[in-house]
Amino acid sequence: MHTIGFVVFPNFSLMGFAAITAFELANGVLEEPAYEVTVLSEKGGLVLSSAGIRVQTQPFGDTTFDTIMFGSGVDIDIGSAALTAFVKRSLETSRRIAAPCTGAFVLAEAGALDGRRATTHWRFANDLQRRFPKIAVEEDQIFIVDGPIWTSAGMTATIDMALAMIEKDHGQDVSRAVARKLVIYHRRAGGQSQFSTLLDLDPKSDRIQKAIDYANANLRRALTVEELADVAGLSPRQFSRAFSAETGQSPAKAVEHLRVEAARLMLEKGRLSLDVIADEVGFSDRERMRRAFLRTIGQPPQAVRRLSRETRGALGRVEPELVS
């Protein structure tokens, strides 16, 4: 049995309990008590969440756990001397330590992330890097596994990390079965972006939304302004003005971002060559794709693929790839 200590503190976010639900469902899929979760806090007793709901907890004590997972909160100043001491002890006694969202600050205060790659909610990534310069903070990641340390972005990324742990412990089939019970798509890859181009564009009118949806479904086409304007039922000049006013981007820049996002997802799956991916998403050649990646996310496609391979390797599953 995998014993999990889930650590909370005053004003913690209840969203972290989604991970506990994933472990509970894994027990059902496996038809055995594969995971046992104990909710912990510094002093034990009732702890008030940010939603105003109190949760019963056990004090830290001397019990050891296979996995220690720290909750997250609405504040980044959540450490204490006792919490820091517990982190340091857990590094010696537990197989893995996990910290979604602002929980990364708890690990950072204890020095557990020094010299390691880590992520957190995009809103707090700059603060984490500024306060703890020894950490290699990668804000544009869903979750990162660096040795025994697991960190993830905020909110629903906690579920992705929990599913990855279940996959590591019991295999991909069990993880997928749990994802189905959670009524979500199977977990996002660890290297996947926290950001969504479609959400960022957020147009105000149905006409511009229709053009964006068309572009996203036809990335392999040239997608000229004239073609998109025709879909929106506007003249090219009217379309360009309306598009920029509603999204804050030109049509060309938005299409490039959609192509980068689609290419990134294909890179993370690791099965197709760079040339094939470039052609599939409309870049026509890998050099144009490379320049677009550098403009959009600041790193080339090869770096994205490498990070994805490292994550899959940490999970014990590296799939064959075409590297050309």
Domain with 131 in it: what CATH number?
Answer: 3.40.50.880
d(CA 27, CA 166) in angstroms, rounded, equals 10
Domain end call among 130, 150, 181: 181
Q: How much is the pLDDT for 37?
A: 96
d(CA 45, CA 125) in angstroms, rounded, equals 32
pLDDT digits (tens, 9 = 90+) for 196-209: 666 667 788 999 99
Asked if residues 34 and 27 have their Cβ atoms less than 8 Å apart, the reply is yes
Question: 126 lies in which domain range?
Answer: 2-181
Asked if residues 243 and 255 have their Cβ atoms less than 8 Å apart, the reply is no
- Examine residue 319 and state whether it is found in any structural domain, yes or no: no
The first and second tokens of residue 12, run together, are 């913690």
- Examine residue 152 and state whether it is found in any structural domain, yes or no: yes
Average pLDDT of the residues in 176-203 = 68
User: What does DSSP assign to residue 49?
Assistant: B
161 lies in the same domain as 218: no
Domain end call among 181, 211, 239: 181
254 lies in the same domain as 175: no
115 lies in the same domain as 23: yes
66 lies in the same domain as 202: no
pLDDT digits (tens, 9 = 90+) for 237-256: 999 999 999 998 999 999 99
Q: What sign does the dihedral 266-267-270-275 (CA atoms) show? A: positive
146 lies in the same domain as 212: no
How far CA 49 is from CA of 16, 54, 103, in Å, comes to 11, 6, 14
d(CA 82, CA 97) in angstroms, rounded, equals 17
133 lies in the same domain as 217: no
Average pLDDT of the residues in 258-287 = 89
Asked if residues 157 and 100 have their Cβ atoms less than 8 Å apart, the reply is yes
Residue 308 has pLDDT above 90, yes or no: no
Three-state DSSP state, 19: helix
291 lies in the same domain as 219: yes
Q: How much is the pLDDT for 312?
A: 61
Q: How much is the pLDDT for 321?
A: 46
CATH number at residue 278: 1.10.10.60
- Examine residue 39 and state whether it is found in any structural domain, yes or no: yes
Domain end call among 118, 146, 181: 181
217 lies in the same domain as 282: yes
- Examine residue 323 and state whether it is found in any structural domain, yes or no: no
- Examine residue 228 and state whether it is found in any structural domain, yes or no: yes
Asked if residues 212 and 257 have their Cβ atoms less than 8 Å apart, the reply is no
Q: How much is the pLDDT for 318?
A: 46
Average pLDDT of the residues in 16-38 = 94
- Examine residue 321 and state whether it is found in any structural domain, yes or no: no
- Examine residue 79 and state whether it is found in any structural domain, yes or no: yes
157 lies in the same domain as 295: no
d(CA 86, CA 82) in angstroms, rounded, equals 6
- Examine residue 160 and state whether it is found in any structural domain, yes or no: yes
Average pLDDT of the residues in 138-156 = 87
215 lies in the same domain as 92: no
How far CA 201 is from CA of 231, 237, 249, in Å, comes to 17, 19, 8
18 lies in the same domain as 109: yes
**136-137 and 2-7: which strand pairing?**
unpaired
168 lies in the same domain as 203: no
Number of domains in the chain: 2
Q: How much is the pLDDT for 156?
A: 81
